[in-house]
Amino acid sequence: MMEPREIILKAFEGGKTERVPVTIFGGGMWSIKDYGSTFEELAKDAAKMADMCIKEAERIRSDVVYVGSGFNNFHASALGTAFGAGIKYREIGAPDLTAHFVTAEEEIAKLNMDDLFKDPVINNVMEATRLVSKAIGRKYLVTMTCWGPFTLAARFVGEEAFMKYTFKKPAFVEAMVNFCANLLIHLYEPLIADGSINCLSIADPTASGDLINPKQMAKFAVPPLRKMSDWAKSKNAHTILHICGNTGDRLEQFIDTGCSSIFFDQKVDIAKAKEVLQGKMSFGGNVAPVHVLLNKTAAEVEAACKEVIGIAGADGGFILVPGCDIPPTIPYENLRIFHDTAFNWKY
């Protein structure tokens, strides 16, 4: 019997596995609620954060365990503290950034990457990652989450302004996404160096097919992702990428990112994705997290999973994944069936 970690790593390489590889993406909100804690409580306690991840990993049974899911905004706030930005905890959902603090290209030089490691929450997430990896890293693929460079850059600048700047100040946008790629490499470097992780997990929702066109994606989102994946490869590490929205009109660009696997939104035609990517790149998808996992019965969830596997999963390199991060209110029974369907599907 292959361990979950071995199964997903084989899928990244396009190989056929003994069963369908399966994972949620992120899952911080669901896990923290299920564990009976809050983002604010876990932010202050690395050991408790690690305990939550370990207990929930055994309960959820995904091939990948994502430490730090929901804490990605701290990668911006850590550098923004000097400029009056902070974090606001919410009753439901992940912590929010309170302010945007970069307005022009010349301001990038004032940002200090080492401020990352002065942030107590980032240090706790990194310590939790090490603890989780030590405890269950041989069984599961343990990773730590981040925003993609385009999304993170938009957090620094403000999403609306950033979108306008893709037309009005393209050089600023390029400089900003390049800075963010370097910042994220700086963040991951210690965990890759000490062997705690060998996979990056990148969510780039602002690079969504619903927000930017293929031309903008090729110019602003793909090069910094490529920079990160090339760096990861140079360290024998993998890269998981998820981008929201319908990206069906730019599927070839995911190959250009150099990432190990792309996890698709439910809006993407998974048959078309398979046609374009099969044999070139691993891909995952794309059971609707709200429409199916939240709102349907267990039997309907099973049918939806079987449909996706039937369309996309026959030839290796495919991973069963929800179309996005999962809402905290999904019934456990539906999550259980989602995983069981993959476990019981033998090649």
Q: What are the tens digits of pLDDT across the range 146-190? A: 999 999 999 999 999 999 999 999 999 999 999 999 999 999 999
242: closest CA among 268, 271, 265?
265
Is the Cβ–Cβ distance between 294 and 274 less than 8 Å?
A: no
> How large is the C-alpha radius of gyration of the chain?
19
pLDDT at 347: 72
- Which tokens go with 115? 């401020």
pLDDT at 274: 98
Q: What is the DSSP letter of 108?
A: G
Q: Give the domain range for residue 135.
A: 4-344
Angle at alpha carbon of residue 57, lines to 38 and 204, rounded to 5°: 70
pTM assigned to the model = 0.97
Is the Cβ–Cβ distance between 217 and 190 less than 8 Å?
A: no
pLDDT at 346: 80
296: closest CA among 271, 266, 317?
266
Distance between CA atoms of residues 142 and 129, nearest Å: 8
pLDDT at 91: 86
**In whole angstroms, how far apart are CA 279 and each of 131, 255, 316?**
35, 11, 9
- Give the count of domains, the chain: 1
Distance between CA atoms of residues 151 and 174, nearest Å: 13
CATH number of the domain encompassing residue 307: 3.20.20.210
- Exposure string of 135-147, with b = 16+ CB inside 10 Å and e = fewer, is bbbeebbbbbbbb
Distance between CA atoms of residues 127 and 7, nearest Å: 26
pLDDT at 208: 93
Is the Cβ–Cβ distance between 65 and 147 less than 8 Å?
A: no
Stretches where the chain sits below pLDDT 50 are none
Is the Cβ–Cβ distance between 74 and 125 less than 8 Å?
A: yes
Position of tokens 């760096």? 231
